Amino acid sequence: MNVLLLGSGGREHTLAWKIAQSKLLSHLFIAPGNAGTANHGTNVDLDLTNFETIARFLLDMKIEMLVVGPEQPLVDGLYDYLKSNKSTENIRIVGMNRYGAQLEGSKDFAKTFMQKNQIPTAKYQSFDQHQVEQGIEFLKSLNAPYVLKADGLAAGKGVLILNNLDEAISELQNMLLHSKFGAAGNIVVIEEFLQGIELSAFILTDGKDYLLLPEAKDYKRIGVGDTGLNTGGMGSISPVPFADKAFMEKVEHRIIKPTVKGLQSEGFEYTGFVFIGLMNVNGNPYVIEYNVRLGDPETESVIPRIESDLLEVFNALFNGKLTNLKLEINPNYTCTVIMVSGGYPEKYEKGKLISGLRLIENSMVFHAGTLSDDDDQVFSNGGRVLAITSMDTSLEKAIEKSYKSIAKLKYEGHYFRTDIGKDLL
Ligand code: AMP
Ligand code: GLY
């Protein structure tokens, strides 16, 4: 079959690499893709906000399956658009409709869903611009640190964690009265702070059954020792040592099953991934957030551990056969280290020539923000540039391999964290 994959990051390069290995694949297109995805299919320059051109491309190229990497097209209603059009309604879409995408697109919607379905999460209340006083009262009833979240999508920047009550009150006012995060902050969710270690769990679901994928841990801050600004993600590892059988049983029982049951009972139209951001609080899992896609850079650690044919897995999703499917998982450890542009996540420069790519032997290099020229030279083209993933029989060995490979890769101003996975050794 012909497949179109949407997106252009390390997640999409990893998915393209995996889909290209499927025996069911005829041709893979990636839109817009990057220098890495071009090695596994044809990059096409489609505007992901223009649904009409996407639909025309799907028809022209006889695409049978559309895999949506990032959340934005789903939140914008791409699924609904294609399903409501006679000519495209039968195309299989790994993704969900606009309603379901609110699980990621609106934190208030997600919290309401969790509350309704008795899924453990931090205590919270939501406030709009007419409820600033009530918001302040609620803040006063909590203990520091204070967690404020813009309701809508804010490019991963909409969550503030503040140690001081006055600061929290002033940020609440900035968000509700002075549009700090634009329309995304028209509603603010204030929630209780959860103290623990984070973990990313992933399922593939048709809204009735689900398949649990390997879990991962993501390293979000820019600095060594989890310091400094939040980023899109600086590295990941899988499996996660503290996510043992007992903990993952709690995750399935308390969180995943009620989540899928909620999707079903509320009539969600859902054929895709759910990424559940969890906090392990003294051995008990709480949901921090839902995403309607795979995580990045978790995908770079998780997908290489899946040995099953990914298009066969997607077929099972669409044929209602998920429960019978036995996902083959490699028991080895993966470690992914992200190389970023100097200055990221603040201002940074692009267009730096990357050297050393051909010297890498013991790791996989997934491209994020890259671009190649006619001579096959590769240049940086974003904040996150490369994801270096290695696999080995122990976490320690996987980490070591990734850092040995990274030492061979160079471009002006490159930066990476030197401590990915080491807190778990
Ligand atoms: P989110 O965008 O909801 O994933 O939040 C971004 C990050 O903020 C999370 O990955 C956590 O590290 C942190 N965070 C969010 N909510 C809480 C909470 N209730 N308690 C502690 N940390 C949180
Ligand atoms: N790694 C976190 C995310 O993809 O949102």
pLDDT tier for residue 111 given thresholds of 50, 70 and 90 = very high
Residues 240-269: what's their mean pLDDT? 95
For a pLDDT cut of 70, what percent of the chain falls above it? 100
pLDDT tens, position by position, 40-64:
999 999 999 999 999 999 999 999 9
How many Å apart are CA 273 and CA 394, to the nearest integer?
A: 28
Residues 363-388: what's their mean pLDDT? 96
How many Å apart are CA 282 and CA 264, to the nearest integer?
A: 30
The atom number, within ligand 1, closest to the CA of 196 reads 21
Residues 3-31: what's their mean pLDDT? 98
Q: Tokens representing 3? A: 């497949």
- The best mutation among 161, 222, 296 to test binding of ligand 1, ranked by most ligand atoms within 8 Å of the C-beta, falls on 161
Q: Which ligand is nearest to the CA of 289?
A: 1
How many Å apart are CA 204 and CA 94, to the nearest integer?
A: 9
**If you measure from the C-alpha of residue 159 to the centroid of ligand 1, how many angstroms do you get, rounded to a whole number?**
7
Q: What are phi and psi of 217, to 5 degrees?
A: -120, 140
Looking up tokens 């099972």 gives 316
For a pLDDT cut of 90, what percent of the chain falls above it? 93
Average pLDDT over the chain, rounded to an integer:
96
How many Å apart are CA 151 and CA 143, to the nearest integer?
A: 21
Amino acid in the structure at residue 299: T
Q: Tokens representing 402? A: 């990734």
Measured between its terminal Cα atoms, the distance across the chain in Å is: 43
Q: What is the DSSP string of 16-66?
A: HHHHTT-TT-SEEEEEE--TTGGGTSEE----TT-HHHHHHHHHHTT--EE
Q: What angle do CA 346, 347, 352 make, to 5 degrees?
A: 120
Q: Which residue has the least CA distance to atom 11 on ligand 1?
A: 288
What pLDDT, on a 0 to 100 scale, did the predictor assign at position 284? 97
**If you measure from the C-alpha of residue 26 to the centroid of ligand 2, how many angstroms do you get, rounded to a whole number?**
30
Find, among 24, 35, 27, 22, the residue nearest to 3 by Cα: 27
The residues lining ligand 2, judged by C-beta closer than 6 Å to any ligand atom, are 218, 233, 291, 295-296, 298
How many Å apart are CA 201 and CA 217, to the nearest integer?
A: 9
pLDDT tens, position by position, 183-200:
888 899 999 999 999 999
40 burial type by CB count under 10 A (0-12 exposed, 13-18 middle, 19+ buried): buried
| 371-to-38, 53, 165 alpha-carbon distances in Å | 10, 23, 45
The atom number, within ligand 2, closest to the CA of 233 reads 1
* SS3 call for 73: helix
How many Å apart are CA 191 and CA 72, to the nearest integer?
A: 25
Residues 370-388: what's their mean pLDDT? 95
Q: Which ligand is nearest to the CA of 217?
A: 2
* SS3 call for 220: coil
Pairing of strands 227-230, 42-43: unpaired
Q: Which residue did the predictor score with more confidence, 156 or 78?
A: 78
The structural domains of the chain, ordered by start, are 2-96 (3.40.50.20), 123-191 (3.30.1490.20)
Q: Tokens representing 351? A: 């267009």
The residues lining ligand 1, judged by C-beta closer than 6 Å to any ligand atom, are 122, 147, 149, 159, 191, 193-194, 198, 220, 277, 288-289
Residues 108-131: what's their mean pLDDT? 96
pLDDT tens, position by position, 287-306:
999 999 999 999 999 999 99
pLDDT tier for residue 181 given thresholds of 50, 70 and 90 = confident
The atom number, within ligand 2, closest to the CA of 298 reads 1
pLDDT tier for residue 267 given thresholds of 50, 70 and 90 = confident
Pairing of strands 159-162, 146-150: antiparallel
Q: Which residue has the least CA distance to atom 3 on ligand 2?
A: 295
Residue 140 has pLDDT above 80, yes or no: yes
How many Å apart are CA 60 and CA 56, to the nearest integer?
A: 6
pLDDT tier for residue 101 given thresholds of 50, 70 and 90 = very high
Residue 156 has pLDDT above 80, yes or no: no
Q: What are phi and psi of 352, to 5 degrees?
A: -90, 135
Pairing of strands 270-281, 235-238: unpaired
Q: Which residue did the predictor score with more confidence, 425 or 184?
A: 425
How many Å apart are CA 62 and CA 56, to the nearest integer?
A: 10
Residue 157 has pLDDT above 80, yes or no: no
List CB contacts of 117: < 8 A, sequence separation 6 or more: 258, 259, 261, 262
Residues 93-98: what's their mean pLDDT? 96
pLDDT tens, position by position, 303-317:
999 999 999 999 999
Residue 179 has pLDDT above 80, yes or no: yes
Q: Tokens representing 144? A: 């520091």
